[in-house]
Structure 1
Amino acid sequence: MNVNKSQQKHQQHTRKAQHFKKKHRRLPIQTKKVSDNHPIQLPYTLPSVQFKNLSVSQQSPMKKTSNLLDITTSTNPTLLLTDYLTISNIKFKEMLLASTSDDINKDALNELLNNEDIFLYIRQLTQLVNKLNYSKLQNEQWSYYYHLGNTEGIWNGRVSKNMADANSMCQTYGRSKMLIQQRQQKYKQQFEQNQNDINEHMKQAPALIDMTQIMNITNNLIYKDQYHLRIELQRPRLVNVLFNNI
């Protein structure tokens, strides 16, 4: 009798164990063969990005009109100036030939540029004219600020620092009449010095070249090459007009 009870308990224990194994048995692992034509692609993981805390003024869509230009990127005008003394000979020759008028014989000019001394002379002349035009543009720019300050009576405290940073010279314009005069005088003197340097350089012109033609070519080259510079220098003018009419 006791043996039967013992056997029954053993059978119950065995059935429970089998049921447990059946319930929790592992599913067979299915392996997939990787095809050479269709390799498995790993999922792309985005790099973690850290966000700076935004202030209330940054989050608000209601911003003042004067701040709309704060996002503009200021540019140092000198970065837009080509240094004609450092660019390659091939590049400089291409620029010269592309700046000739229709009445100039390009073959003759190309042959002239093969003369090393003449080529170097024209390269130096071009750089001098480049600097002359830059100082002229800057002098005109600061003269415009000075005139606008006098006629509109807007010298101090009208331009924000953010707006000045975004538009190069605007903050200086809005803060100091004396500084405007200093900049104006600075570029006026530079222009005069550059003009003197050109006059001295032209005295050393090789006898083989027609200086009138060379100056026309050089002026055409620089006018085209300084297009973006002129745009950058004129941009703050529009900003000033818009800002002072808000």
Structure 2
Amino acid sequence: MSENPETDQPMPLVSHLTELRTRLLRCVAAIFLIFAGLFSFAQQIYTLVSAPLREHLPANATMIATDVASPFLTPFKLTMIVSLFLAIPFILQQIWGFIAPGLYRHEKRIAIPLLVSSIFLFYAGMAFAYFLVFPLIFGFFASATEIPVAVVLLVWIGVVDVQYLKKIRPYVIIGCFVVGMILTPPDIFSQTLLAVPMWMLFEVGVLCGSLIRKRSHEPDEANNDHNDQPPATQP
């Protein structure tokens, strides 16, 4: 049981649940209505959203599908997410409509500006990420994909040793977070999202370098074992 502060009359729990179900169904219906209107433009939406990434791909590089159904499912999923984003004002309005009867009058005066500002800040954050953060991060990732290859080549030609790379691992981790701090907005979440993939790329390079050195030493060890065998005695 809960009480309405305006009337001080108890409201049955079943009524709350019924209203909640109704508002959730309205939110789902709004999302699917927007999706139905955008589905025919799914490919154009995919092209628009992926533009910051495609602009920073290396020369003659293209985006590829990693699954048979990806060319169809990826624009489909992206259009569904865009529909959810466009439906946010209506969803927030439904949330407000559900909780408003439980608020006092002075609380409602505070909540309405909060609702409007939340919608504005939501879309402002999306615009900031699309036009500023995404190009910066994608540009860095496009240039950093060579990290495993560079590490493997350095180990292969003998410039650095795998043990040395493992020894400097703490400094590499710190360097990744410093780069993430410089290239991302001033918050630990964005910094971590950029630093951890860089660190993982380094670890992949160290792992591949270890496998290469191990295979390159196997023939030498086999020859040494053969040479260490005592000569056969003549009868």
Asked if these proteins are the same fold (TM beyond 0.5), I'd say no
Structure exhibiting the larger radius of gyration computed from Cα positions: 1
Higher helix share: 2
Q: TM-score, normalised by structure 1?
A: 0.24
Q: TM-score, normalised by structure 2?
A: 0.25
